[in-house]
Structure 1
Amino acid sequence: MSRTTARPSPPLAPGTKPGPGYEVLAHLARTGWLDIYDAWSEERDCRCVVKVVRPDRHHEEQLRERLLREGHWLRTFTHPHLVRAYETFETPEPLVVLESLTGETVAHLIHRLPRRPAATDIAVLGVHLCSAIHYLHGQGLLHLDLKPSNVVVDCRHAKVLDLSVARAPGGAPPGIGTHCYLAPEQARGGRLTAAADVWGVGVTLYEVASGDVPFHSGDTMDEGEAMDGTGDPDGRDDWYPQLEEPAPPIGSRRRLPHGLAAAIDSCLRPDPAARPTVPELAAALDATLPLQRRQVSPSTDG
C-alpha cells in the first residue's frame, strides 16, 4: 500500500498516555514510519523508550506487524549485547516498550569524538557485535541492518538495536537493509546467509575506524531508513556501488594493526563464501587485543 499524501499528524505531546501505565515525557525521533518517545513507566518507576507507528501510517498493516514482530523478538531474547523489550501492546495501536539506554550511538560518537577510536576499542566493539549476531543466528534470525546508528555504547558496553528488518536465512527481495551498508547479496536480492551480517560487522568497524563508509550512494541515503523488502517509501533507486567494485582496503583510509585491518577487510569480500564465519571473525578480532584487554568492553572516550 502506498504512503498517504496527507500531512503527518504532530507527535504526541508530553503527558499523553500512549498505552496503559506509560506517559510520554518527550518526542525523541520520527523516522519514515515510526515515532519514538522517551516515556515513564508507572509500574517500573523508571524511564523507557516507546516505539509506535506514525499516525499517518497506521493504515499500513505490514508496518503494524513489523513493529509487533520486533517487540516479540526483543521480549523473548536475552543477551547482554541486545536491547531488551519490556512489553508490547496490539491495541488501540501497536506499541513496543524498550529499555532506556544511556550512552550514545556509535554514529554519534564517530562525529563527536575529536579523534578516531583506538584500535583496541574497535576490536572489542567488533567482539561485542559478533557476540550479539552469533546469538541472533542461533535464534534463527539474521539482523541485516548492522550500522553505527544501530549500536549504543555506554560504560564500556555495546548493545545492538533494531530488529525491524530481521528475517530468517533464505531467499529475500533486493534492498533489505540500509542502502550504503548492504552486503552485495542484500543489494541484488537472493539467498541471504550469516555472511550478510558478517559484512554488517565489517562495514560498521570500517566506519568507526576511518570515519566514513566504504561506499556512498551518491546522495543523502547514507543514514537512511532501513528497507524491509515490502516497499520503498523513500523512492530510492536500485543503484548500489557495492555491486560494481570491491571495498577499498581499510589501510587506504587509516593505518591499523595488521591483524585488525585484515579482519575488517575479510568481512567486506564480495563473495559471501569468502568471508569468515562469525566465530572466526570474533576469534580474529580477539587475537588482536592485548591479553589484559580481552573480554573488556569498548570505551566511549576514543
Structure 2
Amino acid sequence: MVSQRLRVPASGGTVLFSPETSAPARSPGSAAPGTEAPGTGPLLGTPEMDHAVVERRFGGHMSVEPRKLMSEGWTSWQGHVVNGVFPLGRYLGCSNHSGVFLTVSAARRPPEVAVKLIPTNRALAESQLPRWKRAGALAHPHLLRLWEWGGCQLDGLPYLYTVMEYADQTLAQLLQHRALTDDEAREMLLPTLDALAFLHGRDLVQGQLKPANILVVGDQLKLASDTIRHVNAGTMSANTPTVYDPPEARHGSSSTADDIWALGVSLFEALTRCPPSGLGEPREAIVLPADFSSAFREVVVRCLSPSPQDRPSVTELVAWARGRSAGSAPAATIHIADFRNG
C-alpha cells in the first residue's frame, strides 16, 4: 500500500509531491511502470531512427508492441558505461525518443544524478548540443540543472547524452492518482511562471511544458531544462504535433506564447487529470466543460486562445496568480487516498 501527500506551503512556496511507502519502494525519482521518467518528454530522433535502433538490438521483424520493445531495448543498456564515466544504473523510464537511467557523478553532491540518452545522427547532434550547452549555463531555482552533455556510442550505435539533476517526482505521476485542487494549482503556478519569466526575458522558451516536465527536486518545483531552446529556433521534435503544441506550431511559427498555450493545457490537465479535447478543431475560442474550475476558467481560456497575440504574458499571469492567492488558507498537508501500485 502506498500513500502520497501534496504539501502546500502557506505562501511563496512550492508544491511538493512526496511519496511515502511501507512496501519495498522504488528509489525517489523513478517513474511508475508505463510512465515517463522525470524530464523524458519527446525530444530528438525520429520514429524511423528508433525503429532501426530496436531492430539492430533485437534483430528481425518487430512482432510486439513498439513501446514495450523500446522499453526492453533501453533496459538492456543497464550496466553499460557512457564514455567510461557514467555507469548506466537503474532504468528510470523512456519516451518514444529517449531513455533515462540513474547514474553517479563523483563531481556532484549528492552523487546520484540522471542521464538521458537519445539516438542521434550528425545533424541532430549539431543542433542539439549547443542547446544543451546554453541550457547548462542557466542557473535558476526552478529550472532543472544540466551538468554535462555530449555524444557517445553504445554497441556501435550513436547517442547523445545529458547528465542532469535527479528528480524525485513529476506532476504526471501524481495525476495518475488524483487531480490538484485550485489552491494547489495556484501554488504550482507561481514557481512555474517564475521560471518562464526568466526564460522569456532571455528570448528562450521551455519548449515542452507538460506535467511530465514539471518536476520536484527536494523541496523545489522545477521545469525540465533539456527542452529549452531559443524562441526562433523551432521545435526540437520531429514528431506529429501534440495537444501541448499551439495551432501556429503546425505552420512553423514560434514565440514565447507557445509556452503559454502549453501552460494552459497543463493547468487543465492538473485540475481534471486529462488534457482538454477539441483543441485541433477550428474555432474562435476553446469551450471548457461546464464543471471546470470557476477560479481557473477565464485564465485557461485565455492561455488556449487560438491566436498567440491573445494569450496573456507571463507578467499578466503572475499578477493574476498573486492576486488570486491573497488570503489563501495556511499551510496544510493533503492526504491522498491509499492506492496500490500497478
Asked if residue 247 in structure 1 is aligned to residue 279 in structure 2, the reply is no
Q: 1:256 aligns with which of 294, 316, 323?
A: 294
Which residue of the partner structure matches residue 86 of structure 2?
22
Distance 1:68 1:61 in 2: 11
CA–CA distance in structure 2, aligned partners of residues 51 and 212 of structure 1: 26
Query: 1:85 and 1:272, CA in 2 relative to 1: closer, same or farther beyond 3 A?
Result: same
Report what 1:107 is aligned to: 172
Tell me the TM-score normalised to structure 2 length: 0.67
CA distance in 2, matches of 1:134, 1:177: 28
Report what 2:136 is aligned to: 75
Partner of 1:209: 271
Provide, for residues 33-91 of structure 1, a one-character-per-residue CA deviation record: whole Å limited to 9, x for no partner.
Answer: 3221111113336111111223xxx4x22333354234313310111111101112345
TM-superposed CA distance for 1:170, in Å, is 7.4
Match of 2:188 in 1: 125
Contact 1:173 1:189 in 2 (8 A): no
What's the counterpart of residue 199 of structure 1? 261
SS at match of 1:42: coil
Query: Please, what TM-score do these two structures have when normalized by structure 1?
Result: 0.75
- After superposition, where does 1:36-115 map in structure 2 within 5 Å? 36-44=100-108, 46-54=111-119, 58=120, 60-91=121-152, 94-102=160-168, 104-113=169-178
Contact 1:142 1:169 in 2 (8 A): no
Per-residue CA deviation, residues 192-246 of structure 1 (Å, 9 max, x unaligned), is: 2222211111111111012221136xxxxxxxxxxxxxxxxxxxxxxx7154563
1:37, 1:20 → 2: CA distance?
A: 15
The 1:13–1:142 alpha-carbon spacing in structure 2 relative to 1, beyond 3 Å, is: closer
CA distance in 2, matches of 1:70, 1:147: 19
2:227 is matched with 164
**Displacement of 1:175 after TM fit?**
7.9
Structure 1 residue 133, shift from structure 2 partner: 1.1
* 1:34 aligned to which of 98, 102, 106: 98
Unaligned 5+ segments in structure 2 are 1-45, 58-72, 154-158, 337-342
Q: Does 1:273 align with 2:301?
A: no
For 2:160, give the aligned amino acid.
P
Structure 1 residues 134 and 206, CA, compared in 2 at 3 Å: closer, same or farther? Answer: same
User: 1:138 is matched with which residue: 180, 201, 210?
Assistant: 201
Alignment partner of 2:81: what SS?
coil
Question: Which residue identity does 1:169 align to in structure 2?
Answer: N
Aligned amino acid, residue 64 of structure 1: A
Whether the 8 Å CA contact 1:105–1:149 is kept in 2: the answer is yes
Aligned-residue sequence identity (percent) comes to 21
- Structure-1 separation of matches of 2:277 and 2:83: 41
The counterpart of 1:285, out of the listed 309, 313, 321, is: 321
Instruction: Give the whole-Å Cα distance in 1 for the aligned partners of 2:214 and 2:115.
Output: 18
Q: Displacement, 1:13? A: 4.1
Letter in 1 for 2:172: A
User: Any idea what SS the aligned residue of 1:180 has?
Assistant: coil
- Stretches of structure 1 lacking an aligned partner (at least 5 in a row): 217-239
- Report which structure shows greater RCO (CA 8 Å, sep ≥6): 2
For residues 142-161 of structure 1, the C-alpha deviation after alignment (integer angstroms, 9 at most, x for no partner) is 22321111111356532111
Give 1:293 deviation, angstroms: 6.6
Residues 197 and 146 of structure 1, relative CA distance in 2, 3 Å threshold: same
CA distance in 2, matches of 1:270, 1:261: 16
Q: Is the 8 A contact 2:93 2:99 kept in 1?
A: yes
Work out whether residues 206 and 212 of structure 1, in 8 Å CA contact, stay in contact via their aligned partners in 2: yes
Shift of 1:30: 3.0
Contact 1:19/1:95 (8 A) holds in 2 = no
Please give the alpha-carbon distance, in whole angstroms, between the structure 2 residues aligned to 1:14 and 1:49.
13
Deviation at 1:278, TM superposition (A): 0.9
